[in-house]
Structure 1
Amino acid sequence: MNLSLIVLIAVFILIALRKIGRFTIKIWQAVAGGAVVVLAAGEISWRDALTAIDFDVMLFLLGMFAVGQTLVLSGYLYYLAYRLFNRFKSAQQLLMGILFGAAFSSALLMNDTLAIIGTPLVLRLAREHGLNSKLFLLTLAYAITLGSVMSPIGNPQNLLIATHAGLAAPFQTFFEALAVPTLLNLAVTYLILRWVYRAQFRTALPLVHNPVELLDPKLARLARLSLCLLIGLIIVKIILVSLRSPIQINLSHIALIAALPPILLSPARLSLLKSLDWATLVFFAALFVLTASVWQTGIMQRQVDALAIDLTSVPAIMLLSTSLSQLISNVPLVALYLPMLTHGDSASLMALAAGSTIAGNFLILGAASNVIIIQHAEKHGATLGFFEFARVGIPLGFINLLIYWVWLRYWYGPA
């Protein structure tokens, strides 16, 4: 055992317990405390800590937080929600609408984007109709994780695979290999959530949707402009990736450009900036530092070497990427795994995409989008505990993995 690993385990315990005596520990506080400890103890140098922080991810989140907060403060998000969901007349229909709607949207807009925009939306729907907020937070988390699997821009790790692995037709490759098992997994997720929360549906009354008025029409116009910029730039990025153009648009640039209208043109820009989710940005910076500190010790690499298995086989890729993503997050895991697949075929790459992404359905720290959802939920007076997530997520995650493995085995042949 070494100090970095001990600190990481302690952080997991704090996130699971969330309390020390009378004090409530937030996720960002636990991770930030762990990063401070490893820095103070010299487990990682300040230079290595700064290098470990992915500033492209940080800027993307900053821009998306600004867009999301503009949508909430203007009331435009809830206005859109009424237009989209007022046709659903039962809790079952609403659950299915959120599950499949969030999944398909995350394939286009990226999972972290949906986590930012979707959290206040599902909480409002739950409160408006007297439904269990934990059910809808879980639905959102599982939906955007699954939906992002089948797209090269659904999440950062898939984008890394698509851009660095030399796939000739990334959208076609991801869709053909992963769309069918993703749809099956969404159906399984719906059935499991219906069963676990069956009491909720037995007592639920027919839904009555209340019309929603814009809170700030001027800010709503800027929110609409930001949303159009966001969607438009993502479509441009999809076209550029499909054409394998040398011109690339970073996701951070897309998010920052989309955030410009409210920041530059709204008189409430200062209050908007103050209300951003700065705690989540602290969480991500601290997580990069803490996981880099653990990785530098080499303990995980030695444990993997001790297994003496073929790291390029599909089962090994899926199991290792899923398990290690719980400890060092899926984006750095994929960045470290890709060099081992220099001669990897599409089956290996799709296994890496599925395994590293579906890790988010097991535990809270398995995906950044999970943490964004919980941090945002706590801002809006709700929460989702570690054990609440795990009791559904662990069995669901194993089923998800099995379905992806069986399909990849069928699609590409035994490996």
Structure 2
Amino acid sequence: MNSTPAEAAPADAEHGGGNGLLWVLLAAAVVFAVVRPRAPMDYLRLVDWQTVGALAGLLAITQGVERSGMLQAAAARLLSRTTELRNLVFLLAASAAVLSALVTNDVSLFLLVPLTRVLATQAHLPLARLVVIEALAVNAGSALTPIGNPQNLFLWHRSGESFVGFMAMMAPTVAVMLFWLFAAIRFLVPRAPITLKPSTEAVPMQPRLLALSGVLFVGFVIALDQRWLLVGLAGVFGAFLLLRPRVLLGVDWALLAIIALMFVDLRQLAELPAVAALLGQMPIGEGWRAYLAAIVTSQFISNVPATILLEGFVHDLPALAAGVSVGGFGCVLGSLANLIALRLAKVPNGLREFHRISIPFLLVCGASALLLRLG
């Protein structure tokens, strides 16, 4: 059933789902500490600091871009050229899918979700729904290439396939996901005209801040590529602290805590002897069983840890790759990109809207991709 576009939440709205997930993850960490205590330094080793550090730098740079006024100007130009809601959503979803295949799913969200949030300050748009669709789009698009997401990079190195060969392996599953993505947009988004909100005072452009953010982004990406994380973080935070300290006030530190606790909790869960024993007894080595095991495991420990955990038990790499890709849908924990999208959107009830769309999408997409594999 088509829905009427809802008003966007104000900019200072509670982050998607609030900090409830943070407290749940913290409670789980306490339980693990009591049941299976370990040395303090061991907890730090559980965290993938490369991922957390990369997110910290990108969050700071994104704040710089937002405060520069560039997103507001880009949003106004886009709304002047796109007058129908469904066309706008198609454009955003397609952009998210393409960008995620080229510059990874997380980076594409850092580019598009802030723009979408600004669009919702200038027009009456269903912000939560748009961001959920963008999260689905990056999960689908990033599955195509070896560099689209971390699990693909891991499996590509294990497979021995060429870059193009890996894309050919993933193409059927990605085609199914994108087909249902655009079918979902037709179902969820009406062909309604976009209604602009009353004009507010224009945000002044700050070209120097935009230039600073652009230079820092390029430098930070190069630093990440060279594995110079600390150098990159020192450059980003040092530059903002000296030149534009107010930018750092907008960084979502709670998101970084959530991601760190996810690594602590989910990796401890995956290490439980009972989990390894259960997986060793199950016939998930290949075929549809491997595919379904990857989807189900992703719902509980996210698709990147699921890939690493199952790689020792599953011998059918195409089935594993397809399963963890589809497993990014469903539960918000299925993919790190889901959490990033909701936190960047800063909308109340974001988790509820996400699961209302993503769980049915997982069921339909998962069954379709399975039928394709069996066929």
Smaller-chain TM-score range? 0.7 to 0.9
Aligned residues: 358
For 1:98, the equivalent position in structure 2 comes to 92
Q: Which 4+ stretches in 1 moved above 6 angstroms? A: 206-213
Matched, 1:312 2:305: no
3-state DSSP of counterpart to 2:102: helix
For 2:32, the equivalent position in structure 1 comes to 38
3-state DSSP of counterpart to 2:342: helix
Q: Contact 1:174–1:350 (CA<8 Å) still a contact in 2?
A: no
- The counterpart of 2:48, out of the listed 24, 45, 54, is 54
1:209 deviation in Å?
12
Matched, 1:260 2:235: yes
Distance 1:80 1:172 in 2: 34
- The counterpart of 2:318, out of the listed 350, 353, 363, is 350
The AA in structure 2 aligned to 1:144 is V
Matched, 1:398 2:363: yes
Unaligned 5+ segments in structure 1 are: 1-17, 19-23, 238-248, 411-415
RMSD: 3.2
For 1:335, the equivalent position in structure 2 comes to 308
Structure 1 residues 354 and 80: CA distance shift in structure 2, 3 A = farther
Unaligned 5+ segments in structure 2 are: 1-16
Aligned residue runs from structure 1 range 14-93, under 5 A: 25-82=19-76, 86-93=80-87
Matched, 1:174 2:166: yes
1:84 deviation in Å?
5.8
3-state DSSP of counterpart to 2:328: helix
Q: Contact 1:374–1:383 (CA<8 Å) still a contact in 2?
A: no
Distance 2:197 2:245 in 1: 37
Aligned residue runs from structure 1 range 2-401, under 5 A: 25-82=19-76, 86-163=80-157, 165-169=158-162, 171-198=163-190, 201-202=191-192, 204-205=193-194, 215-229=205-219, 233=222, 249=225, 253=228, 257=232, 260=235, 263-264=238-239, 267-306=242-281, 308-309=282-283, 311-340=284-313, 344=315, 348-378=316-346, 382-401=347-366
Structure 1 residues 141 and 383: CA distance shift in structure 2, 3 A = farther
Higher mean alpha-carbon deviation, 62-71 vs 104-113, is at: 62-71
3-state DSSP of counterpart to 1:361: coil
Q: 1:149-198 CA distances to partner (integer Å, 9 max, x unpaired)?
A: 101111111111122x14241x2123212235424422322222332454
3-state DSSP of counterpart to 1:339: coil
3-state DSSP of counterpart to 1:153: coil
1:50 deviation in Å?
2.0
Structure 1 residues 253 and 338: CA distance shift in structure 2, 3 A = farther
Q: Contact 1:227–1:258 (CA<8 Å) still a contact in 2?
A: no
1:313 deviation in Å?
1.1
Q: 1:82-123 CA distances to partner (integer Å, 9 max, x unpaired)?
A: 556653221011010011100110111111122333222112
Distance 2:336 2:234 in 1: 21
1:61 deviation in Å?
1.2
Structure 1 residues 296 and 184: CA distance shift in structure 2, 3 A = closer
The AA in structure 2 aligned to 1:167 is G
TM-score, structure 2 as length reference: 0.83
Structure 1 residues 37 and 181: CA distance shift in structure 2, 3 A = closer
Point out which structure has higher relative CO (alpha carbons under 8 A, 6+ apart).
2
3-state DSSP of counterpart to 2:82: coil
Q: 1:15-73 CA distances to partner (integer Å, 9 max, x unpaired)?
A: xxx6xxxxx75322321232234224545543432221111111211222122222112
Q: Contact 1:102–1:147 (CA<8 Å) still a contact in 2?
A: yes
1:142 deviation in Å?
0.5
Higher mean alpha-carbon deviation, 31-40 vs 63-72, is at: 31-40
Higher mean alpha-carbon deviation, 267-276 vs 120-129, is at: 267-276
Identical amino acids, percent of aligned pairs: 25
